Amino acid sequence: MNNRVNRRPLIAAATLLGVGMGGFIDGIVFHQILQWHNMLSGSGYYPKTVDDPLTVIRNMQINMFWDGLFHAVTWTSTAIGLALLWRAMQRPDPSHSTQTFVGSMALGWGLFNVVEGFIDHHILHIHHVTEAPNHLVWDIGFIFFGMVLIGLGLSFISKAGRVETPPMAAR
Amino acid sequence: MKRFIHAVVASAAILPAIASTADACPFCHGKNGVNEVNAGIFNDKFLPTLLAVLAPFPLFLGVVAAIHFGFPVRKNLEIVEAQNERGTNEQPR
């Protein structure tokens, strides 16, 4: 009789889903609804904060291309996450813990914020959260929010691991 | 099913190569007729820019792979714990 569940496949799948969903939240909210930044809106690339309107439009179209590539990769990450989730559920020892699932998605979203924040905003400077003089506050806040999500996610995953019992079919 | 997936992926990969990026922006052409939008994308900075845009994703996949397959140190700990639990040489999952 199998009296153990393996949570690794579920955690891995939900983490990747969280990365993808976090990427979509960034793209939809910051790039499109608020229009605070785009993929290459940094001052050394194709900023929108220039005087010439035609240059602004040209830069916006260039950014739209790179935003599209970013969304394509985000979509691909989400698709792979869904495939991993499907495979995880087909295992003989699947975890069905909602707390683990939600915690892992939070972990993934937080991972997106921290990694993308450090690489794109602080190392490469291809864009910032907002292309304003006070962008550092927002950039730090973006990473801090990611760390909070990671902490919450790990906490959920840890607590769920202490109480999960195998599904009925495995008992 | 596999053929269908391969066809979808191949179509998605080909589409950016054949689609024009600025057909809906006729005044994006400069005075000498050059499409400034295309020139701003497909230039000698294309590859470095592509790498910069894609840079975070291998890290994401690496973390997920580490979660899925386990760290080597963690795997060894699991083997020891399983042997202690059962008093056998049975391999953990």
Is residue B29 less than 8 Å (CB to CB) from chain A? no
Which residues make Cβ contacts (< 8 Å) with residue B88, sequence separation at least 6? none
Task: Evaluate if residue A170 carries a pLDDT over 50.
Answer: no
Q: Confidence band (pLDDT; 50, 70, 90) for B92?
A: very low
Give the model's pLDDT for residue B8.
79
Cβ contact (<8 Å) for A61 and B57? Answer: no
First to last CA, chain B: 30
pTM of this prediction?
Answer: 0.78
Whole-angstrom Cα distance, residue A139 to residue B62? 24
List the one residue out of A15, A61, A17 whose CA is nearest residue A39: A61
pLDDT at A123: 93
For the segment A100-128, the average pLDDT, to the nearest whole number, is 96
Secondary structure class of B35 (helix, strand, coil): strand
**pLDDT for res B16:** 64
pLDDT at B10: 76
- B28 and A58 within 8 Å at the Cβ level: the answer is yes
ipTM at complex level: 0.85
The pLDDT value recorded for residue A128 is 94
Tokens of A5: 């569940």
Residues in B closer than 8 angstroms to A126, CB to CB, are: 49, 52-53
Q: What tokens appear for A126 in the block?
A: 């291809």
- For chain A, the three-class secondary structure string (H helix, E strand, C coil) is CCCCCCCHHHHHHHHHHHHHHHHHHHHHHHHHHCCCCCCCCCCCCCCCCCCCHHHHHHHHHHHHHHHHHHHHHHHHHHHHHHHHHHHHHCCCCCCCCHHHHHHHHHHHHHHHHHHHHHHHHHHCCCCCCCCCCCHHHHHHHHHHHHHHHHHHHHHHHHHHHHHCCCCHHHC
Q: Which residues of B touch A115 (CB under 8 A)?
A: 56, 59-60
Highest mean pLDDT among A132-136, B9-13, B31-35: A132-136
pLDDT of B11 > 90? The answer is no
Q: Does A75 touch chain B (CB under 8 A)?
A: no
**Chain A nearest CA to B46, separation (Å):** 10
| Whole-Å CA distances, B84 to A39, A47, B39, B80 | 52, 61, 65, 6
Q: What is the pLDDT of residue A88?
A: 93
B73 touches chain A (CB under 8 A): no
Instruction: Indicate the residue of A4, A77, A93 with minimum beta-carbon distance to B60.
Output: A77
Instruction: Give the up-direction half-sphere exposure of residue B70: CA atoms within 13 A in the CB hemisphere.
Output: 13
The proportion of chain B whose per-residue pLDDT surpasses 70, expressed as a percent, equals 54
pLDDT exceeds 70 at position B83: no
- Do the beta carbons of residue A17 and residue A81 sit within 8 Å? yes
* Segment A57-85, tens digit of pLDDT: 889 999 999 999 999 999 999 999 999 99
CB contact, 8 Å: B83 with chain A? Answer: no
Tell me the C-alpha distance between A28 and A144, whole Å.
Answer: 20
Asked if the C-beta of A50 comes within 8 angstroms of chain B's C-beta atoms, the answer is no
Q: Please, which pLDDT band fits residue B2 given cuts at 50, 70 and 90? A: confident
CA-wise closest residue to A15 among A25, A26, A7? A7
Short-list A3, A1, A7, A9, CA closest to A165: A3
Q: List the 34-63 stretch of B: residues with Cβ below 8 A of A.
A: 36-37, 40-41, 49-50, 52-57, 59-61, 63
Q: Which residues of chain B have a CB within 8 Å of the CB of A58?
A: 28, 36-37, 40
Which residue of A15, A61, A74 to mutate against B (max B Cβ within 10 Å)?
A: A61
pLDDT at A120: 94
Mean per-residue pLDDT, A14-36: 96
pLDDT at A13 over 90: yes
